[in-house]
Amino acid sequence: MDSQDFPGWHGTTIIGVRKGGKVVVAGDGQVSLGQTVIKGTARKVRRLSPGGQDVICGFAGSTADAFTLLERLEAKLEATPGQLARACVELAKDWRTDKYLQKLEAMLIVTDGTDLLVVTGAGDVLEPEHDVAAIGSGGNFALAAARGMMDSDKDAETVARDAMAIAADICVYTNGKLTVESITP
């Protein structure tokens, strides 16, 4: 079977929202293979605590690839305590230049409560504008919804949850079973 014939793993929506001194990362639980939902309760948002640091990561893409990246990020954080941006840049450099890592298909949203970053396999470490970052198949829907709510009275968690609900209503690869983690610097 040619890899282009294989339907592939789809889906995930991850959002990070910074508002009112708090950062919330939320992710849906759906894993799909083609048009079939394989699992509805996957946990795609995780808390890491390397060397006593508190970091939240959300991932979109291949689960095995994401776990590989999370392990690498944890090692980078241990090597550069308290320097999330530096650890992410080091991870992105390795991801872009290492032949093994180049094949990994995932994206990360990472926060320590101060920085909110998107890390990609293209070597990007991006700090989003408007204090909202979103990745995955429903990411643009969640991003648009959250940006529309940022001037409201809603707190970071409510914005993230409401944006994810909108994304789940639009994106067939996103469901409403959320994992939500928050952090305050």
Catalytic residue among 12, 80, 111, 174: 12
- Strands lying side by side in the sheet with 36-39: 9-10, 31-33, 36-39
Q: Which tokens in the block code for residue 35?
A: 């048009």
Helix (H) or strand (E) holding 163: helix 156-170
What does the H/E/C string look like for 36-102? EEEECCCCCEEEECHHHCCEEEEEEECHHHHHHHHHHHHHHHHHCCCCHHHHHHHHHHHHHHCCCHH
- Decide if 12 is catalytic: yes
Classify 7 as helix, strand or coil. Answer: coil
Pairing assessment for the beta strands 36-39 and 22-27 based on DSSP bridges: unpaired
Q: Which residue has the tokens 């920085």?
A: 115
Quick check: 9 and 154 in contact, CB under 8 A? no
Question: Which are the catalytic amino acids?
Answer: 12
